[in-house]
A and B are shown apart, each in its own frame.
Chain A
Amino acid sequence: ETGVTQTPRHLVMGMTNKKSLKCEQHLGHNAMYWYKQSAKKPLELMFVYNFKEQTENNSVPSRFSPECPNSSHLFLHLHTLQPEDSALYLCASSQVLSAGEFSYNEQFFGPGTRLTVL
Chain B
Amino acid sequence: SQQGEEDPQALSIQEGENATMNCSYKTSINNLQWYRQNSGRGLVHLILIRSNEREKHSGRLRVTLDTSKKSSSLLITASRAADTASYFCATDYSGYSTLTFGKGTMLLVSP
Interface size for chain A: under 10, 10 to 19, 20 to 34, or 35 or more residues? Answer: 20 to 34
Q: Are A2 and B48 in contact (CB under 8 A)?
A: no
Q: Are A112 and B40 in contact (CB under 8 A)?
A: yes
* B78 lies within 8 A of chain A by Cβ: no
The binding surface of chain B is classed by DSSP as strand
Interface size for chain B: under 10, 10 to 19, 20 to 34, or 35 or more residues? Answer: 20 to 34
Known interface pairs A4-B42, A42-B3, A112-B40. Does A107 touch B99 (Cβ–Cβ under 8 Å)?
A: yes
Q: Which of B43, B99, B103, B104 contacts A104 (CB 8 A)?
A: B99
| A4: chain B residues within 8 A (beta carbon) | 42
Query: B46: nearest residue on chain A (CB-CB)?
Result: A106
Alpha-carbon gap, A111 to B44, bound state (A): 10
A-B contact list, 10 entries, CB within 8 Å: A2-B44, A41-B103, A42-B101, A42-B102, A42-B104, A43-B43, A48-B98, A88-B40, A104-B31, A105-B31
